[in-house]
Amino acid sequence: MKDGGIKMKKRHNFENIDLNYIFLSLDETHHLYNHQPLYNKKFLNVMSFHPPGVAAVKDDKGAYHINLKGESICKKRFIKTFGYYSDIAAVEDKSGWYHIDLNGNPIYIERYEWVGNFQEERCPVRDLNGRYFHIKKDGTKAYNNKYNYVGDYKYGIAVVYEKDGYAKHIDKGGNYIYNKLYEELGVFHKGFAIAKDNQGYFHINKSGDPIYLERYKWAEPFYNGFSFASKFNGEKVIIDELGRIKQEIINENSEVNQKFLRKKLMDMLVGYWKTQILYSIVKFEILDYIENGINTFKLLLNKIKISKSSLNMIIKVLKLWNFIGEKENKYHLRYLGKLLTENNPMSLKYAALMWGDEHYLVMSRLLDALKTYKPQFKEIFEMDLFDYFDKNKEKRSIYNRAMEEYSFDYDNLLELYDFSDTKILLDIGGGSGKLLTKILKKNKKISKGILFDLPNSIENAQKVLKDSDFYNKLEFISGDFFEKIPVKADTIIMSRIIHDWSNDKAIKILKNVYKSLEIDGKLLLIEIIVPEKLDSDIGITSNFNLLVCVGGKERTLNEFKNILNKAGFIISDLIKDEEIVSIIVAQKKRDD
């Protein structure tokens, strides 16, 4: 018998065929059973058979389903068809996407932009507005929420992605099974799921807690108690459910890993290129110009007054790094490009200007700083860093704006501290007062906010905040925290101040802070805490910058305890979130 170019050597007994032994032909135009064609037809494309013995196929008339004999099980033709799961199949026709039963009849009236397959009596769908949710077999919604994406249920739990980009796990009622947020999540498999945070991939339990501290470039689900994982250095390992490395699969002695590591080192050696390229682009204000409509090569060339070749180099790298796009010979900003513009609320424009100028030049004397363990800023600029910025109005403004930009990283962290008992809040070394006003805005019961800093910084802050809604609550005091802090408060906050100073100087500052804090008051230090275990770069490389610029250092929790104790404080609480910065809450020691 011959049809469509396939000869069958013998007829099959269709009643006894095991679906597990039916395979696709190499070109995926027909099915094979015992290495022979299952039927005498050939299609444009075929998919696998699913119970009760039905497969999705497509020919020149459209998409439909066939039985084991290669016969169509219904007359209707679709644009796309997919396999049956629990006797329900996903299809697409001119009206949209939906599900049909074994007779080809729709099981509900709704139409969608896309539908998945039913797993555990739930199916993900995408509505006509591009929002995802799950439906039940009768077509009704499984819950009220809609998401940016949802996946299949497995063991009663599905992964969803919210509008903010974070991933969560939900149960069949749409309830979150824990309150933590992750950048990426996988389904639960044997009690564990793959998760990703800003440090890398790892595994979590059903409470959403990491089951070990290590982070990986990627990791697979556990297979009989073990997972295959890749380190950031290219090494491949097998880990157990406690995160212990049980076997090295590929180490640094392998040829492929040595090539990877050499390439990584080559990139590290020229890391300064990117700092200076970004500094130059921001200095020329190219991204601000594009945002404001000066968005063609010719317009930019006329505005910036640099050579055509130079601008061509800049445009190429901005495209390559996804800072800009181009459509119809006009440039537009992508998200990274927007982050280096003046008015973006999350801008890092002034951070780019800060890192590419004085800090960059001082880093060239790191070798001398390491030899002497002394800062080198004065060797280049003839005065210490903070004196330099205090006496140079333009540079001080850039520095303060850069610090403001980084203060956005603390917003979620500050939400975790209860300011309800605070009446007077003192921000020591608060620069422009941005952090102080943020706290006052969210905690209206605070009666007064005091900003303490060097004279020129205070003068600038008064100008910046004169139109603030909270100006009547603000008090501005200038001075030197090494000499005296001439005001009392029940809550004192110091954001990234102590890390700028050596232990002796930090203790001297903290002793003056002690005198300004009310007897039952709280001192809040916003700082990076270096982990005792060396398993990630938290405060390690930044210590080189602190040394060469100011002679300061990032500290471990024990090191903070030591300097705080010497100044008369004890640590009463530690507040952390997903960011690397923490709040150390300290109080005055009490005599027993």
Give the residue extent of every domain in the chain: 1-107, 178-261, 270-347, 385-588
Mean pLDDT of 375-388: 95
Assign 3-class secondary structure to 146-194. Answer: CECEECCCECCEEEEECCCCCEEEECCCCCECCCCCECEECCCECCEEE
Strand partners, 125: 115, 133
- Averaged pLDDT for residues 383-404: 91
Q: Are 426 and 436 in contact (CB under 8 A)?
A: no
CA angle 457, 423, 473 (to 5 degrees): 45
Helix (H/G/I), strand (E/B), else coil: 42: coil
Q: Each residue of 182-198: pLDDT tens digit?
A: 999 999 999 999 999 98
User: Residues with Cβ < 8 Å from 581, sequence gap 6 or more?
Assistant: 409, 410, 413, 496, 526, 527, 528
State the chain's mean pLDDT as an integer: 94
**pTM metric for this prediction:** 0.80
Nearest to 187 by CA among 176, 177, 179, 195: 195
Architecture of the 178-261 domain = Beta Barrel (2.40)
Concatenated DSSP letters for 557-588? HHHHHHHHHHTTEEEEEEE--SSSEEEEEEEE
User: Could you count the other beta carbons within 10 Å of the beta carbon of residue 187?
Assistant: 16
8 Å CB contact between 179 and 170: no
Q: Give the Cα separation of 456 and 447 in Å (integer).
A: 25
Is residue 446 within 8 A of residue 438, CB to CB? The reply is no
Is CATH 3.40.50.150 what the domain over 385-588 is classified as, yes or no?
A: yes
Q: State mean pLDDT over 536-542.
A: 89
Helix (H/G/I), strand (E/B), else coil: 532: coil
Cβ contact 40:16 at 8 Å: no
d(CA 411, CA 32): 60
d(CA 584, CA 586): 6
Mind listing the pLDDT tens digit for each residue in 211-264? 999 999 999 999 999 999 999 999 999 999 999 999 999 998 999 999 999 999
Query: Residue 31: how many CA atoms within 13 Å on its side-chain side?
Result: 27
What's the pLDDT band for 1 if we cut at 50, 70, 90? Answer: very low
For residues 378 and 387, the answer to whether their CB atoms sit within 8 Å is no
Residue in 109, 101, 3, 112 with CA at minimum distance from that of residue 52: 101
- Residue type for position 279: Y
CB-based contact 555:543 (threshold 8 Å): no
Query: Lowest-pLDDT range, 10-24, 234-248, 375-389, 527-541?
Result: 10-24
pLDDT band of residue 8 (cuts 50, 70, 90) is low
User: What DSSP designation does 45 have?
Assistant: E
pLDDT grade for 410, boundaries at 50, 70 and 90: confident
CATH, range 270-347: 1.10.10.10
pLDDT of residue 3: 45
**pLDDT score of 577:** 77
Domains 270-347 and 385-588 share a fold: no
The two tokens of residue 538 are 């938290």
